[in-house]
């Protein structure tokens, strides 16, 4: 029985590029978390410190989950099967959710747009190819 491909080679290339952009955005989220931690260390106001701790924890957890989903998607993408479609769609959705703490600035808007683009690419269907 021949394996079925869900994505064409060109679509897989676009998805791979978009997933790498997501990895760069994860690095930016980690940098924002580090910036929040530095703000905690230098701040004297207890309310600012509490908010900084919360932001650092949320960004750290989101970055970890999003990085794991992105790496899993990149690992499954060469097979171009249904599992790659599921993980790419999941990564697109998680990317949009990860933008919520950052939505008030330009980085958050960029993360939303990348997540929507990734989700759209992942959910569109291509004519099914069969492996030879």
DSSP result, 53-77 = HHHHHHHHHHHHHHHHHHHHHHHHG
For residue 109, is it within any domain? yes
Model confidence at 3, pLDDT cuts 50, 70, 90, reads low
CA angle, 61 then 84 then 13, to 5° = 100
Residue 50 domain flag: yes
Domain count within the chain: 1
Report angle CA 95, 121, 29 to the nearest 5 degrees. Answer: 20
Instruction: Please check whether residue 113 is in contact with residue 124, taking contact to mean a CB–CB distance below 8 angstroms.
Output: no
Q: Is residue 114 part of a domain?
A: yes
| 132 located within any domain | no
Does 131 reside within a domain?
no
Q: Choose the most confident range, by mean pLDDT, from 54-63, 82-91, 99-108.
A: 82-91
The pTM for the full model equals 0.83
Q: pLDDT per residue over 44-70, tens digit each?
A: 677 767 777 787 888 888 899 999 999
Burial 14-26 (b: 16+ CB within 10 A, else e): ebeebbebbeebb
The CA-CA-CA angle for residues 62, 68, 74, to 5°, reads 130
Task: Give the chain's radius of gyration (CA, Å).
Answer: 18
**Can you give the residue range of the structural domain that contains 46?**
4-126
């Amino acid at each position: 029985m021949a394996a079925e491909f869900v994505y064409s080679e060109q679509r897989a290339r676009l998805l791979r590029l978009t997933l790498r952009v997501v990895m760069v955005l994860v690095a930016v989220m980690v940098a924002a978390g580090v910036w929040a931690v530095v703000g905690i260390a230098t701040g004297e106001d207890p309310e600012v410190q509490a908010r900084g701790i919360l932001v650092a924890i949320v960004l750290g957890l989101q970055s970890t989950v999003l990085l794991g989903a992105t790496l899993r998607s990149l690992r499954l993408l060469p097979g171009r099967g249904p599992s790659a479609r599921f993980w790419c769609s999941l990564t697109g959705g998680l990317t949009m959710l990860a933008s919520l703490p950052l939505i008030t600035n330009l980085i958050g808007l960029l993360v939303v747009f990348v997540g929507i683009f990734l989700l759209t690419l992942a959910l569109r269907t291509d004519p099914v190819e069969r492996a030879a």
